[in-house]
Structure 1
Amino acid sequence: MSYLSPPEFATKMIDAGESKVFMATRDTVIRAFMAGAILALSAAFAVTVTVQTGSALAGALLFPVGFCMLYLLGFDLLTGVFTLVPLALIDRRPGVSLRSVLRNWGLVFVGNFAGALAVAVMMAVIFTYGFSTAPDEVGQAIGTIGEGRTVGYAEYGAAGMLTLFIRGVLCNWMVSTGVVAAMMSTSVSGKVIAMWMPILVFFYMGFEHSVVNMFLFPSGLMLGGEFSVSDYLLWNEIPTVVGNLVGGLTFVGLALYATHARTGATRNQPVPAQADTPAQLDV
């Protein structure tokens, strides 16, 4: 059968986290760069579909194509390593330390950002014909997204920051579920179907994904969005990264590890009472 049981894919999660810790720096950065670039292209695609069709649902239905491609190709997102890599530390795999976990996160962050930024520059060139004209309709929409999801939160102060953080938590609850879903099947079609569902939920609900935002906000700044780099970092990227870490590790990584990799002791079944025998009744 192509379906793996929860205990089986829970073990694969820990193994995957361990392998990422010991991966060569070059490979870690290349895979992260490509993941950031492909996800950025997928985000540009989804915004284009949404603008041209007027349907946010259409864009959300098609966005997961990029996520599926990058994971089938073996690339890594920050949101995924937030969930998988700590499990190798928690499971006490030999040679895995907190320092090695943080090293992996740092390299993946840099790679994802570089890939997303490269695509942001290329798409800005397309939207403006090499910065010779005003942004087209899609470019204007991306600039608006950047404003609404930075200064839009800032208008509400602490309540806006809390909302942003919770959206980051919910985002990686779904995205990391998609990462794990790829391990549930040994067939390409099974992996794609399983990944598609939670990614659709995250994108349509407008949750905050740190790597998608590495494309949207630099793009918005280049396309005339009325917000600053400090607005982007303080009122989006940093709280989103923290929310993504909490959501993925808590609701996916630790939850699955606790109940499928390190299950609790099985409760003793009560022994059924035996009916009295005729001999006992005669006494």
Structure 2
Amino acid sequence: MSSTTVADPNAIADEAVSKGKDKAGLDFGVLAVLALLAGVYISFGGLFALVALGGAEGMPFGTGQLLAGVAFSIGLILVMIGGAELFTGNTLIVMAWAEGEIGLWGGVRALALVYGFNLLGSLIIAGLAMAAAAHLAGDGAVGVAALDMADSKVKLGFGTALASGILANMLVCLAVWLSFGARTAADKVLVIIPPIAAFVAAGLEHSIANMFLIPFGWLIQQTAGPAFWAMTGVAAADYSAITLGGFVANLVPVTIGNIIGGFAVGGAYWLAYLHPKAG
């Protein structure tokens, strides 16, 4: 049997329900720590993607985006193999609810707590990346990439951000779904990278990634010294749209879209593989 063989979709559906039940049953302390770690891991992926994009102006658009997507996939790889609780992937918990394995409150509690501690982990890494002067790498190219990324995100309209969030989490949840069926760590890596690279390359919106990317851009805009602006040839005023209000305005529709996208994937697989059993 090939090492890249994955489980049958029926078995994956059962695994998704079992994992959803387990997630809803985690106590507060465990859930908080694992969610904090997931925010950290996704932020590592975001920082790695910014490094890949730094100085990529000479590359064809698609090439730079693809490199950033492959780089960002380290975040979900760490979550799925290292073990952590990520809000976007955890929206598949809808399958456990649909099966009657958890109550509505249990699912909402688990998702809300994970979301809050994902945010905390992301903000910690944004602050540490700034303190580590990560924005100065590549003669400031990483900082400019962060500013450009944050600026483009906060300027999205509500409807655009919502639709982008739906598409992004459909791909994230497909990566999680495939990883449930992978039999080895190497298999998990192989099945995670393509969907994650696809959503990043397409410029889609992921709420937890944005919890790092926009605050990091905001910190650069607010606190980078004169040497950074002189070195890069850009100005803080060029990025005046990057505000805390803009961060919240992005996060609301993207989060709603991520929930819809995750529930759509989980609901579709429940209908295909589990609902017929009930009948």
Interval of TM-score (by shorter of Structure 1 and Structure 2): 0.7 to 0.9
Is 1:89 the equivalent of 2:86? Answer: no
Give the Å deviation of 1:61.
Answer: 2.1
Which of 198, 221, 234 is the matching residue for 2:195?
198
Seen in structure 2, the aligned counterparts of structure 1 residues 213 and 116 have a Cα distance that, compared at 3 Å, is same
Equivalent pair of 1:177/1:198 in contact (CA under 8 Å): yes
Contact preservation (8 Å) 2:53, 2:145: no
1:223 to 207, 214, 220: 220
Q: Distance in 1 between matches of 2:87 and 2:132?
A: 27
Relative distance call for 1:128 and 1:82 in structure 2 (3 A) is closer
In the superposition, relative to structure 1, how do residues 231 and 53 fare at CA in structure 2: closer, same or farther (>3 Å)? closer
The separation in 2 between residues aligned to 1:172 and 1:30, in whole angstroms, is: 23
Q: SS of the residue aligned with 1:231?
A: helix
Query: C-alpha deviations, 1:174-196, integer Å up to 9, x for none?
Result: 00001111111211111111111
Q: 2:181 matched to which residue of 1?
A: 184
1:258 aligns with 2:271: yes
Structure 1 length-normalised TM = 0.83
Which residue is equivalent to 1:136? 140
Partner of 2:133: 127
Of residues 3, 10, 14 in structure 2, which corresponds to 1:11?
14
- Check conservation: 2:168, 2:258, Cα contact below 8 A: yes
Distance 1:127 1:82 in 2: 34
Paired position in structure 1 for 2:88: 79
SS of structure 2 residue aligned to 1:181: helix
Partners of 2:218 and 2:177 in 1: how far apart?
34
| Superposed counterparts of 1:11-30, under 5 Å | 11-30=14-33
Percent of counterpart pairs with the same letter?
24
Task: Tell me how many residue pairs correspond in the alignment.
Answer: 250
- Paired position in structure 2 for 1:148: 152
Partner amino acid, structure 1, of 2:6: Y
Amino acid at match of 2:220: L
More helix by percentage: 2
Counterparts in 2 of 1:32-181, with a 5 A limit? 32-54=35-57, 55-83=64-92, 85-93=93-101, 96-127=102-133, 136-150=140-154, 152-153=155-156, 160-181=157-178
Q: Secondary structure at the match of 1:207?
A: coil
TM-score (norm 2): 0.84
Query: What are the ranges of 5 or more consecutive residues in structure 2 without an aligned counterpart?
Result: 58-63, 222-238
SS in 1 for 2:19: helix
| Correspondence for 1:156 | none
**2:111 corresponds to which letter in structure 1?**
W
Q: Structure 1: 5+ residue runs without aligned partners?
A: 154-159, 267-283
**How far apart are 1:19 and its partner, in Å?**
0.4
CA RMSD of aligned residues (A): 2.0
